[in-house]
Structures are given as C-alpha cells and as structure tokens.
Structure 1
Amino acid sequence: MFPPRPFLVALQFLTVLPVRLKKPPDNKTMGRSLLYYPLVGLVIGALLAVLVLGLNETPTFVAAALALTLWVLLTGALHLDGLADSADAWIGGLGDRKRTLAIMKDPYCGPAAVVTLVLVLLIKFTALQHLITSENWQALLLAPVLGRTALVLLFLTTPYVRSNGLGSLLSGHLPRRVSLVVTLSTLAAVPIFIGIAGFWLLFTMAGIFFLLHTLMLRRIGGTTGDTAGALVEITETMMLLTAALMA
C-alpha cells in the first residue's frame, strides 16, 4: 500500500499539507513515521524547486523571498519555533539544566529568540538567492532532506529528556536498525546525486551535528522537541550556506 500510513503520519506532522487519517496512529506507527522524515524533506525540497523554476523570469531576490516564505508556510514554522525556544533557553538558562528546560516551556519569545530567527532567516534568504542565481537546484532539494535526516540521527543517538510528549513516543518506538539503514542510505546517496560537492555537505552536516549533539548532552543530558527543531533549522541553513559558498 502506498503511500504507507507512517509516511502520511510524518507528512501530517512535519508539514501543513492536507493529510487526513481515518484514525489516530498507534505508537508503533508513530515510531515508524520517523523512517520517512527524509522523504518528507524531499517533498518539501521538490515543492521549493518547482516554485523557483516557475519563477525563472522573476528577479532572484524576489524568487528567494517567495521560496523562503513557502518553506516557512509548508512547515508551519514548526522547527523555527523550536529554534526560538532553544535560543532563549540556552541564553537564559545560564548553564543550569532545570532552568534551561523550564524556559523552553515558556511560550513567549525573548530577545535571543528574535535575534536568532532573524539571523537564520537572513542567511537562508541570501544563500537561496545565490543558489537560484547559480541554478543549483540540487542543494535546494537536499537541504530539507538532510535537515530531517539529522533529526532521525538525533533520535537514534540521543536520549529524550522529557518523560511525556510526542518526542518521547517517537524515541521509544523508533525501529533502530531500520532507521540506521535509512540514515546511512540517505547520506550515501548525497555524493552520488551531486558528486564530490556532496562530501562537503556531509562533512559540514557531521560537524554541525556533533557540535549541537555535544551541547545538548552537556546542558540538558539529551534532547527535547525544541532542540530537535533547532537542529533541523541550523542543519538546513548550513547546508544552503555551504552550497552557496561552494558555488
């Protein structure tokens, strides 16, 4: 049966695309939905590429702005919200685990969150503009894919620190061996798809993942939904920036 139910669950959670499920997914289906996160990233990247290709007669800065807007709308700003909460918590937590976790629960945005969001969106916009100018559609496709592949890798290697919530459910029911195969297969496909430049993307992704993974473990002993969202946003941004610099 295609599309598989776990894929539809992943698509429903990670995007605002109109996906309707006849009944709520069970725990096993929720865990297996993580396997399809890279595929959802490919859907997002493909929609962005189609939009940009359709705007080939439009000034590049306008096309980049519209592509970034679509990107945010497609994801419902899900990961941006996590990035904002994480930025506030890391600055306001003052190195304390309990204080950091408490600030992540606060629905309000502080100065650190606002500045971080502005900087990330600015870098994404300028990188997109350059990639559109150089017609680097591959990077536009791959950035959402690698961002969500990093998410699967995070749940594979990092304990979830909260005892309840969706993240705990995903982490507890993730089929680990299959997810490892999916992760490695996705990463191996990058240099096959774009050649030697793919190794630079993977090298950058590995560095970002190791850095953020280490910061999470040192500060809060694992990950939360907010830090997972921050990982996605930062990975996507660095993939775009790396591709733009290589171009």
Structure 2
Amino acid sequence: MSLPAHPFCIALQFLSRLPLSLREAPSPPALGASLLWYPLIGLLFGALLQTLSLLPLPANLLAALLLAVWVLASGGLHLDGLADSADAWVGGGQDRARTLAIMKDPRAGAMAVIAIVLVLLLKYAALQTLLRTHSTLLWLAPYLARGAMPALFLSTAYVREAGLGSTLAAQLPRRAARLVCLLVAASCALAGRRGLLVLLGVTALFLLLRMAMLRRLGGFTGDTAGALLELSETLALLILAGYEAAGRGLEG
C-alpha cells in the first residue's frame, strides 16, 4: 500500500512491518514530526492485542499468540536494539567508544540472547496472568512505551552524528512534543489506579535508564532507545500482572 509522506504514515511504516510504502521521500520536518505520532502507533498495537485477547483460547496458548503477533507486527525492531545494548553495556566496560562500536556490530553475543529470552519470558508470564483476569489494560504497555520516545528525544542528546536519529532529534517540534508527553501521562493516569502505577513505574525506569545512558554515552542511540522501549513494555506488563495477581484488579 502506498501512502503519502505524512508524519503519521512515516511513524506507522517505521514502527510496524505492515506492507506500506511512501509515495515520496519524507522531508526532514516530516521525519521529526513523526515522533509525535509514536504514542498513537502504540495505541494501535494495544488495540490489536486487546482485541486478540478476546479469542476463546487457553491463557497459555493465547499469551504465546499475542506475544508472537506483538513481535512480528513490530518486526523485532526494538528487540534488536535491546540485544545490541545488552552486548555493548557488558562488553564495553566503562569505555564510551567501545560501547558505541559494539552496538554497531551486527553479531549477537551471549548477553544479547539472554536479554531477549528474559524479556520475552517475562512478557509471556505477565500476559498469561492478565489474560486469566480478563484485563482491559493491555494497551497501556505498547502505548506508554512508545510515548516515552518523544520524552527521550526531548530530554536527552542523540550521540551519533548521522542517521535517522540525528534527523529526528534536530527536527522534533519541541513544543508539540511536550504536549504529546503530557497527554500520554494524563491518559495513563485517567485509566485508574493501575494506569497511575504503570505510569509511575515506567517513569522511574525511564529516569534510571536515562541516567545510565548519560553516564556511559553522554546521551542515547537508536539501540538504547529500543532497549528503553522494550524494558518499558515489560515493566508495564509486570506491574499490571502483579496488581491483578494481588486481587486488586477489579477496581480503578
């Protein structure tokens, strides 16, 4: 399907593996504005997951199906960033240049495999719990994780000199991005006690990971942004599942 180079279409093409193409090369301002649409793409992912969760299947099978659709729909883009970041963070020691070099290496080391397996395992276990309790807040995880991306570009320097990330950072409409971040936070808080807990937890994770990026790299890369997104999704699911498992998920 051919789409105009509108910022929403750019974000949809980049964050999903739908068979889409743009009719023309996007302009730098359109690329920067595409970041504003990341939370909406996350909401579409969430709506898909929430709809599939209604299928009459056993929780373990349905959790595996949801996870497979989730990974395939995104093309594993952010899992790749998580893998590269895990290898680089361990293999790079405290050396900035070595850390950045390892992130560019296409080969996957032991830490990359371990990080992916652990994240997928935690997501699968959390999804099983949420499916058994018929949670209506599955959408929060992909929505809030992608909503963290404009906040990262707003608050943190992009450390590579070339590539898509540098264009996004330079062209991001900052006032509009601040408004988008506020809207994402407000909508999560309005989802009730569970939404507020997820928002607080993911915000704390954001601040911790941002601090680690600044100490090691002086900013962030596309890979560390992908790692932040994956870990935010995982934590959001774990918070929701923990709340539901504790028997308090029927209120708020």
Same fold flag (TM > 0.5): yes
Match of 1:184 in 2: 182
After TM superposition, the structure 1 = structure 2 runs for residues 29-108 of structure 1, keeping only pairs within 5 Å, are: 29-53=30-54, 55=55, 57-108=56-107
Q: What corresponds to 2:159 in structure 1?
A: 161
The residue correspondences of 1:220-231 to structure 2 (distance < 5 A) are: 220-231=217-228
| 1:217 paired residue number | 214
Please report how far the alpha carbon of residue 3 of structure 1 lies from its aligned counterpart in structure 2 after TM superposition: 9.1
Letter in 2 for 1:197: R
User: Following TM superposition, by how much is the alpha carbon of 1:4 offset from its aligned partner in structure 2, in angstroms?
Assistant: 8.3
Q: 1:19 Cα shift? A: 2.4
CA offsets 1:74-124 (integer angstroms, 9 cap, x no match): 000000000000000000001100000000000010000101110000000
State the alpha-carbon separation in 2 of the partners of residues 186 and 110 from structure 1.
Answer: 35
Is this contact kept in 1: 2:42–2:142, CA < 8 A? yes
| Identity, % of aligned positions | 53
User: Of the candidates 126, 137, 149, which is equivalent to residue 151 of structure 1?
Assistant: 149
CA distance, structure 2, for counterparts of residue 141 and residue 202 of structure 1: 13
In 2, the alpha carbon distance for the partners of 1:174 and 1:180 equals 10
RMSD (Å) for aligned C-alpha atoms: 1.3
Query: Is the Cα contact below 8 Å between 2:6 and 2:30 reproduced in 1?
Result: yes
Whole-angstrom CA distance in 2 between matches of 1:102 and 1:19: 32
- Render the CA deviation track for 1:25-72: whole Å, top value 9, x for unaligned: 10000000000000000011111111121x2x2110000000000000
Residue identity opposite 1:6 in structure 2: P
Letter in 2 for 1:208: L
Post-superposition offset of 1:190: 1.1
The letter of the residue matching 2:240 is A
Aligned to 1:236: 233
Distance 2:4 2:236 in 1: 28
Any unmatched runs of 5+ in structure 1?
none
Counterparts in 2 of 1:242 and 1:4: CA distance versus 1, 3 Å: farther
Structure 2 match to 1:171: 169
Q: Which runs of 5+ in 2 are unaligned?
A: 245-252
Tell whether the 8 Å contact from 2:140 to 2:195 is kept in structure 1 after alignment: no
Q: TM-score, normalised by structure 1?
A: 0.96
Matching residue of 2:13: 12
Indicate yes or no: 2:119 matched with 1:125: no
SS at match of 1:137: coil
Counterpart AA for 1:122: L
